[in-house]
Structure 1
Amino acid sequence: MQYLTPDNPVFVTYAIAAALMVVKLMGQGWLTVYRMMKSDSGLVNPEDLRQTPLNPHPRDDQLELNDYVDRSRRMHRNDLENIPGFWAAGLLFVFAAPPLWLAQGLMYGFVGARLLHAWAYLSKQNHEVRATFYTIGSVIVIYMALHALVALLG
């Protein structure tokens, strides 16, 4: 069986989940930019205070921490710490030829956990709520990596 073809439903599951996570990751960056523009704050570098068409009236306070912007930036950083591991482990998992039901449950479960983590962050849920969704996603990635390791070495 060819593993990386549209004829392999496990690969198709991975491709859909991976593409959704690309959209999530890139969209989070755009959400941060939107929040910076909406609040006219949240800049991080001194050179950002230069007068430009997008910042016609720079002010020193634009460099101050703004939770509205920084919350999105923290979400983006969290995605950058978690989604690449899914991409790698998920691809290795495809080569382990798991049952389709398992691949769908784990891969779509990861997507769901990341989306719920984003919801928890945006709606300012407490740490335990965010940590629950992080943990679900993390355990899924670890399981896929270990499953692939055992299957491929086995």
Structure 2
Amino acid sequence: MDGINLSNPVFVTYAIASSLLVLKLMGQGWMTVYRMMRVDGGFVSPEDLRKTPLNPNPRPQQLDTDDYVDRSRRMHRNDLENIPGFWMAGFLMVIVSPPLWLAQCLMYGFVAARVAHALAYATKQTHDVRATFYTIGSLIVIFMALYVLWAVLF
């Protein structure tokens, strides 16, 4: 655990990549809220139809699915399904002390794959395009986990 400090460049790489992913994950949630407010709809819970200062004129149509809002919600859900695996595998990578070049390629590669996936989703690219970026990110995390297992077992 001596490598968990800012003098370890692999940890610094992990810290930068993880921080960027935190911003991506949290920003996507805010983007969903922005879109809900912009269209005054896309809500998901019946209690969202209560009259409040932020929803002074509630109406049943606000619970209708809105693709503009739901697209952001799907992007957020996708991040929630993929980013935590990176956090765990990345942290374990730091502990097993991989070469810096490998850690940087994998960690920054994952961040790039998530950004590319988000751009593909936001611009309504085909499933094939989104799946390509998902696959790249997924394979990176799988490789990281296998690298850790190899380092620990052998």
Whether TM-score is above 0.5 comes out as: yes
Aligned to 1:15: 15
Tell me the CA shift for residue 153 of structure 1: 1.8
Aligned to 1:119: 119
Tell me the CA shift for residue 66 of structure 1: 0.3
The CA deviation string for residues 60-86 of structure 1, in whole angstroms up to 9 with x for no partner, is 000000000000000000000000000
Rounded to whole Å, the distance in 1 between the matches of 2:29 and 2:149 is 33
Aligned to 1:153: 153
TM-score (structure 2 length as normaliser): 0.98
Aligned to 1:76: 76
Give aligned pairs, total.
Answer: 154
* Residue pairs, 1:1-154, within 5 angstroms: 2-154=2-154
Tell me the CA shift for residue 45 of structure 1: 0.6
Rounded to whole Å, the distance in 2 between the matches of 1:25 and 1:124 is 19
TM-score (structure 1 length as normaliser): 0.98
SS in 2 for 1:120: helix
Rounded to whole Å, the distance in 1 between the matches of 2:56 and 2:99 is 57
Tell me the CA shift for residue 128 of structure 1: 0.3
The CA deviation string for residues 65-124 of structure 1, in whole angstroms up to 9 with x for no partner, is 000000000000000000000000000111111110000000000000000000000000
Unaligned runs of 5+ in 1: none
The CA deviation string for residues 16-35 of structure 1, in whole angstroms up to 9 with x for no partner, is 00010000000000000000
Rounded to whole Å, the distance in 2 between the matches of 1:50 and 1:23 is 31
Rounded to whole Å, the distance in 2 between the matches of 1:6 and 1:66 is 44
Tell me the CA shift for residue 2 of structure 1: 1.9
Which runs of 4 or more aligned residues in structure 1 lie more than 4 Å from their structure 2 counterparts after TM superposition? Answer: none
Rounded to whole Å, the distance in 2 between the matches of 1:91 and 1:63 is 40
Tell me the CA shift for residue 150 of structure 1: 0.8
Rounded to whole Å, the distance in 1 between the matches of 2:13 and 2:122 is 27
